[in-house]
């Protein structure tokens, strides 16, 4: 396993991060396809044995049960000082005022709840899951700074938003002497490359680490076109992000298959290798529901794509509608969406 520092810090993370949205009680939350605790534990152990030390979850994943599963497994399988545990907050945990968003009140409650579910004294990385249109960014950044200074969190990060919003957050923290974000968790894959326009150059300029979600486009880059799974049939994000560009996306998937066949490797390995070779990418967040998913991701670390292969993979791409960013918040809770 390879390791890199995350953003402008000395924190070492594996080149792959295990995304833990796949783990949780299916009857809780909005993900019907998640693995129960007994099925989750072997995958978490497999990741650790492969050298993965970076684990990402969120308070909204299966209504907090993802954090519960991950916390118990990591306590049994790993030394706390060797692993990097990340979680996120923004989406509501109940349909009531103040049970979500990025206000000082909500963040203080959310981080305490996450630590309780994880059974941990601190989080290595605490991320805002989206931009909050209601709460002033000054309130959010000061609250995050105070949470870091309290010892409950070591570093802070952000997730999908507009580049101007991320820049505003960083500037706000800088002028007040508050803790700045060290990472950006956004969607980057072969069939969604809109982040290349502004966010990726901004992160490179700021020295911010990039830890993309959905690196395999919810599995679309790994399967024959038209083949479905329980997740693809029930995942609302797939329907909201990829349906408007299906014909052109199909050409990308077919090119992945062609290059994979020529190299004698799996499609997942080619799609992941493209992302791993992309400048500025620290650690793609891989979701796994089978041992083979993890094995393919680890194997991708050894796959090298030529400049010609990269050009062929990128050639069919067309601009996509911006997706997975905006989630306006009302007074009675938040609009649930994406990863």
Q: What are the CA-CA distances from residue 171 to residues 23, 125, 298 (Å)? A: 36, 20, 36
Low-confidence ranges of the chain (pLDDT < 50): 330-338
Q: Locate the DSSP E strands across 237-312.
A: 285-287
Q: What is the pLDDT of residues 69-113, one digit of tens each?
A: 999 999 999 999 999 999 999 999 999 999 999 999 999 999 999
pLDDT at residue 333, rounded to an integer? 40
Sheet holding 209-210: strands in order across? 209-210, 181-185, 153-159, 123-128, 84-89, 54-56, 17-19, 285-287
Residue 188 lies in a domain: yes
Q: Which domain holds residue 183?
A: 3-332
For residue 338, tell me if it sits in a domain.
Answer: no
8 Å CB contact between 104 and 157: no
Q: Which two tokens stand for residue 15?
A: 């080149």
Segment 18-56, tens digit of pLDDT:
999 999 999 887 878 899 999 999 999 999 999 999 999
CA-to-CA dists, residue 8 to 73, 279, 282, 333, angstroms: 29, 16, 12, 34
pLDDT of residue 235: 59
Positions marked catalytic: 61
Both tokens assigned to 278:
């992309």
Inside any domain, residue 235: yes
* Residue 115 is assigned to a structural domain of this protein: yes
Please name which of 104, 98, 95, 94 lies closest in space to residue 128, comparing C-alpha atoms: 104
At residue 330, the pLDDT reads 46
First to last CA, the chain: 25
Q: Position of tokens 């309130």? A: 139
Residue 339 forms part of a structural domain: no
In contact, 254 and 225? CB cutoff 8 Å: yes
Query: How many Å apart are CA 268 and CA 48, to the nearest integer?
Result: 20
Whole-angstrom Cα distance, residue 106 to residue 93?
Answer: 10
**What does the alpha-carbon distance between residue 259 and residue 304 come to, in Å, rounded to a whole number?**
12
* DSSP SS3 for 60: coil
This prediction has a pTM of: 0.93
CATH number at residue 324: 3.20.20.100
Give the pLDDT confidence score for residue 328 in this predicted structure: 55
Cβ proximity of 317 and 307 under 8 Å: no
Closest listed residue to residue 118, CA positions, set 85, 167, 161: 85
Distances (CA, A) of 96 to 92, 100, 134, 140, 326: 8, 8, 15, 20, 20
Is 337 within the bounds of a domain?
no
Distances (CA, A) of 28 to 45, 64, 213: 24, 8, 22
| Domain count across the chain | 1
Question: In 3-state terms, what secondary structure has residue 53?
Answer: coil
* Token couple for 56: 């990402």
Tell me whether residue 159 is in a domain.
yes
Instruction: Give me the pLDDT at residue 244, please.
Output: 72
Are the C-beta atoms of residues 48 and 65 closer than 8 Å to each other?
Answer: no
Yes or no: say if 275 and 215 are a contact pair by the CB < 8 Å rule: yes
Q: What pLDDT, on the 0 to 100 scale, is given for residue 159?
A: 98
Q: Which helix (H) or strand (E) holds 116?
A: helix 104-118
Query: What pLDDT sits at residue 233?
Result: 59
């Amino acid at each position: 396993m390879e390791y890199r520092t995350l953003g402008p810090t000395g924190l070492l993370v594996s080149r792959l991060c295990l995304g833990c949205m796949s783990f949780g009680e299916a009857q809780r939350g909005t993900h019907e396809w998640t693995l129960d605790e007994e099925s989750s534990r072997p995958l978490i152990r497999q990741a650790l044995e492969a050298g993965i030390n970076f684990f990402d979850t969120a308070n909204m994943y299966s209504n907090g049960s993802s954090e519960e599963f991950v916390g118990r497994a990591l306590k049994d399988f790993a030394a706390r000082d060797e692993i990097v545990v990340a979680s996120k907050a923004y989406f509501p945990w109940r349909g009531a005022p103040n049970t979500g968003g990025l206000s000082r009140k909500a963040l203080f409650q959310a981080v305490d709840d996450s630590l309780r579910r994880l059974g941990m004294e601190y989080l290595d990385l605490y991320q805002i899951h989206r931009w909050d249109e209601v709460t002033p960014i000054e309130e959010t950044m000061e609250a995050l700074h105070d949470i870091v200074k309290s010892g409950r969190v070591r570093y802070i990060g952000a997730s999908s938003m507009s580049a101007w919003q991320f820049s505003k957050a960083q500037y706000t923290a800088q002028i007040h002497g508050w803790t700045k974000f060290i990472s950006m968790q956004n969607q980057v894959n072969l069939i969604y490359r809109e982040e290349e326009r502004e966010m990726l150059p901004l992160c490179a300029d700021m020295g911010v680490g990039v830890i993309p979600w959905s690196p395999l486009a919810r599995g679309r880059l790994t399967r024959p076109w038209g083949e479905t799974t329980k997740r693809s049939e029930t995942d609302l994000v797939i329907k909201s992000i990829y349906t408007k560009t299906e014909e052109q996306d199909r050409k990308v998937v077919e090119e992945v298959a062609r290059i994979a066949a020529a190299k004698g490797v799996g499609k997942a390995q080619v799609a992941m290798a493209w992302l791993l070779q992309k400048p500025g990418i620290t650690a793609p967040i891989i979701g796994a529901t089978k041992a083979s998913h993890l094995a393919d991701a680890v194997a991708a670390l050894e796959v090298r794509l030529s400049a010609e292969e990269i050009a062929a993979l990128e050639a069919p791409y067309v601009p996509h509608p911006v997706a997975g960013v905006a989630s306006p918040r009302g007074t009675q809770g938040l609009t649930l969406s994406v990863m």
